[in-house]
């Protein structure tokens, strides 16, 4: 009897992850324009993590490595590769997009610990890994992006066979479709159920196409939306990725009115998503499980949308690698802002330890609720960009595509220049910071077996 009572006391988990939702696209993070009352309330009732970063990726489809790092708890060079060291040619091969099968995955660990695991929405890391993670699911999208109405989605298949021809095209806007699946699942969980649950809902919003539902389009009049402080008509130099697909979704040089319209549609989709999350929270409350459920909200990565003259996420500025993270529920303080540096892969052990689930030995992440945070965070993009930050000083190093040797460096003081508009790398008094951060970067590259460790040396 005591064992059953202990099992019932284990917290449930509702894990919500968005696509392309940058950290400052939420009111609780200081955005005075976008309306996100549900997420703001979650932050007020739980923990708002202020400095969580993705580690980038080796492909322009950054959702793949970012989610892989989160789901495996490992660095970006290990999360999607089966074994061995990674060559530059391999890093851009879609064969290496699936989760590394050598590792146990976050939902899989909960499943092995007696949780009923349910997945809905976007799963861009292989069908085999989905089968390992989830005992149930609905409206599953095995893809990267698509129209928000008309996504090819699968019903859950216990035999783990998901042929493309068995998918059906959705008729409901994606955020509503995945919210409905989550709501139905929550409604099936009876009060006092012996089996705790782990619900994973991965939204495709606010990723482009930025086409909010008609009732939400125009919620934010474009003409009244302020441009970001770091809006630029063009990026000041070739960062190695100025012609990637995402950068071609708006005219270059950037037109202020066109960027305002992108922001209007982006904010409209975020507010619509926020309302769908509100419906999930209402269902959780009605189920009787709200008091014993940890709710997590995060995103795979951010997006530029006019900042630095860029539109996409294929860069390592703050707008693209700094992500939102909110956690609320049992075992968490209320109304707490956590400022220490953290990585996306740190979510894995943090959630496991909150729920009493074992943390696998391979996990490199650390519990975000312990200590003052990491000394540094790092990010990589393909074979052309690397970043290190200590929370104040941020160093970016670029390689000209195909060349050996540094093409350009940048140094920003995020305390006085959070928009990253003043490169201080050539100032004589900054050389000590440059050397210190270069050494930290090289040590990290060596440790994670970055293919560029022997090229981008100090």
Say if residue 89's pLDDT is above 70: no
Beta bridge partners of 3: none
Rounded mean pLDDT of the chain?
A: 91
Q: What is the pLDDT of residues 220-250, one digit of tens each?
A: 999 999 999 999 999 999 998 999 999 999 9
Percent above pLDDT 70 for the chain:
91
pLDDT at 87 over 70: no
The two structure tokens encoding residue 23: 């950290």
| Structure confidence by residue, pLDDT tens digits, 33-77 | 999 999 999 999 999 999 999 999 988 989 999 999 999 999 999
Q: What's the pLDDT at 456?
A: 60
pLDDT number for residue 84: 40
Residue 6's pLDDT band (cuts 50, 70, 90): very low
CATH of 383-458, one of 3.30.360.10, 3.40.50.10330, 3.60.20.10, 3.30.1120.10: 3.30.1120.10
Read off the pLDDT band of 3 (50, 70, 90). very low
Q: What is the pLDDT of residue 160?
A: 83
Q: Which residues contact 182 (CB under 8 A, 6 or more apart)?
A: 14, 118, 120, 199, 201, 280, 283
Residue 164, classified by CB atoms within 10 Å of its CB into exposed (0-12), middle (13-18) or buried (19+), is exposed
The pTM of this model reads 0.94
Identify the residue whose tokens are 């909010």.
212
The upper half-sphere exposure of residue 214, i.e. CA atoms within 13 Å in the direction of its Cβ, equals 1
pLDDT for residue 191:
62
pLDDT for position 161: 86
pLDDT in tens, 307-331: 999 999 999 999 999 999 999 999 9
Question: What are 444's two structure tokens?
Answer: 């990290």
Q: Given this model, what pLDDT does residue 118 score?
A: 98
Q: Domain map of the chain by residue range?
A: 2-371, 383-458
Domain 2-371 has CATH 3.40.1710.10: no
What is the mean pLDDT of the segment spanning 167-182?
Answer: 96
Q: Is the pLDDT of residue 457 over 60?
A: no
| Average confidence (pLDDT) over 269-292 | 96
**Percent of the chain, pLDDT > 90?**
82
Q: What is the pLDDT of residue 143?
A: 84
Closest-CA residue to 305 (of 260, 273, 240, 252): 260
pLDDT tens column, 140-168: 999 888 999 999 999 999 888 888 889 99
Pairing of strands 293-299, 322-328: antiparallel
**Model confidence at 85: pLDDT above 70:** no
Does the pLDDT at position 2 exceed 50? no
pLDDT (mean) for 425-432: 95
pLDDT score for 323 = 98
């Amino acid at each position: 009897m005591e064992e059953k009572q202990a099992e019932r006391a284990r917290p449930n988990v509702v894990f919500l992850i968005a696509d392309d939702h940058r950290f400052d696209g939420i009111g609780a993070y200081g955005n005075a324009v976008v309306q996100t009352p549900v997420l703001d309330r979650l932050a007020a009732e739980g923990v708002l993590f202020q400095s969580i970063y993705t580690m980038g990726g080796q492909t322009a489809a950054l959702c793949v490595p970012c989610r892989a790092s989160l789901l495996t708890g490992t660095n970006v060079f290990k999360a999607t590769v089966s074994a061995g060291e990674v060559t530059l040619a391999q890093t851009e091969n879609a064969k290496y997009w699936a989760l590394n099968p050598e590792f146990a995955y976050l939902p899989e660990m909960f499943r092995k610990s007696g949780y009923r695991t349910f997945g809905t929405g976007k799963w861009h890391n292989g069908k085999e890994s989905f089968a390992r993670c989830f005992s149930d699911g609905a409206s599953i999208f095995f893809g990267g992006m698509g129209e928000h109405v008309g996504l090819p989605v699968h019903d859950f298949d216990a035999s783990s066979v998901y042929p493309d021809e068995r998918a059906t095209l959705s008729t409901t806007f994606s955020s509503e479709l995945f919210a409905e699946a989550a709501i139905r699942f929550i409604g099936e969980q009876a009060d006092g159920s012996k089996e705790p649950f782990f619900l994973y809902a991965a939204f495709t919003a606010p990723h482009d196409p930025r086409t909010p539902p008609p009732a939400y389009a125009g919620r934010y009049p474009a003409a009244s939306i302020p441009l970001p402080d770091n809006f630029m008509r063009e990026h000041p130099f070739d960062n190695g990725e100025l012609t990637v697909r995402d950068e071609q979704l708006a005219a270059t040089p950037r037109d202020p009115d066109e960027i305002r319209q992108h922001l209007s549609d982006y904010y409209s989709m975020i507010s619509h998503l926020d309302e769908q999350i509100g419906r999930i929270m209402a269902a959780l409350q009605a189920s009787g499980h709200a008091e014993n459920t940890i709710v997590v909200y995060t995103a795979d990565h951010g997006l530029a949308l006019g900042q630095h003259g860029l539109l996409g996420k294929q860069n390592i500025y703050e707008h693209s690698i700094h992500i939102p993270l909110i956690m609320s529920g049992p075992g968490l303080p209320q109304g707490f802002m956590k400022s220490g540096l953290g990585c996306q892969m740190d979510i894995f052990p943090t959630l496991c330890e909150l729920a009493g689930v074992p943390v696998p030995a391979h996990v490199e992440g650390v519990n975000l609720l312990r200590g003052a945070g990491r000394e540094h965070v790092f990010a990589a993009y393909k074979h052309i960009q690397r970043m290190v930050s200590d929370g104040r000083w941020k160093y970016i190093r670029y390689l000209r595509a195909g060349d050996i040797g540094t093409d350009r460096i940048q140094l920003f003081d995020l305390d006085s220049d959070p928009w990253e508009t003043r490169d201080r790398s050539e100032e004589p008094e900054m050389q000590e910071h440059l050397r210190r951060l270069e050494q930290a970067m090289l040590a990290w590259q060596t440790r994670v077996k970055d293919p560029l460790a022997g090229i981008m040396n100090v």
